[in-house]
Chains A and B, each alone.
Chain A
């Protein structure tokens, strides 16, 4: 199979809709099919990364746990927007995974290196 470089832009908060979980599941599938998958959390999508979530309070899956599974599915290029974190008063220690923090300019470089971008 031709290897494709795919970037998933995750911009939706967890829980209010099924968007976050559905996007994460499609990333896990892409990882299994040996695509070169990158994930960039930005805007309200950074809330998916927050430690201490408890989806059970709403009878839902805990989105933070799904995010934590990404590296086990060969998805290792995980990025977060510096400005989106700062706007929400978050720092990297608040997050469930070790992620690379990117400036706006670095995000532009990341996006331009892709063959496909999925924007959720």
Chain B
């Protein structure tokens, strides 16, 4: 299984990217979603949690590499990956 990286602060993303494998999943939650905005987000695919994106007014401001997912899809990502690494 590949790793799921969960990033909950935007400034933690560079550290995560420096050690994440090409097939790892990266998920932005809480204040981590600010790292997914246009002009800031990296070119590699990222997931972002819908409720955190919506609350912060970022729905129309995310980079094209970012896929918004529901809480249920977050659970599925957690089931499908091991280990899960939290970055804060």
Out of B31, B34, B57, name the residue touching A54 (CB < 8 Å).
B57
Shortest CB–CB separation between residue A59 and chain B, in angstroms?
A: 9
Shortest CB–CB separation between residue B68 and chain A, in angstroms?
A: 12
**Do A47 and B56 form a contact, CB below 8 Å, given A13-B34, A57-B51, A58-B51?**
yes
Contacts across chains A and B counted by CB atoms under 8 Å = 51
Which chain A positions have C-beta within 8 A of B59?
52
| B interface, size bucket | 10 to 19
Bound Cα distance from A6 to B73, whole angstroms? 46
**Do A64 and B57 form a contact, CB below 8 Å, given A13-B31, A57-B50, A58-B51?**
yes
Shortest CB–CB separation between residue A47 and chain B, in angstroms?
A: 7
Shortest CB–CB separation between residue A2 and chain B, in angstroms?
A: 39
| A interface, size bucket | 20 to 34
Bound Cα distance from A55 to B60, whole angstroms? 16
B30 at the interface (CB under 8 A from A): yes
Give B25-51 as 1s and 0s: 1 = Cβ < 8 Å from A's Cβ atoms: 000001100100111100000000011
CB-based contact B56/A50 at 8 Å: yes
Bound Cα distance from A113 to B54, whole angstroms? 38
Bound Cα distance from A54 to B52, whole angstroms? 9
CB within 8 Å of A: which residues of B?
8, 30-31, 34, 37-40, 50-52, 54-61
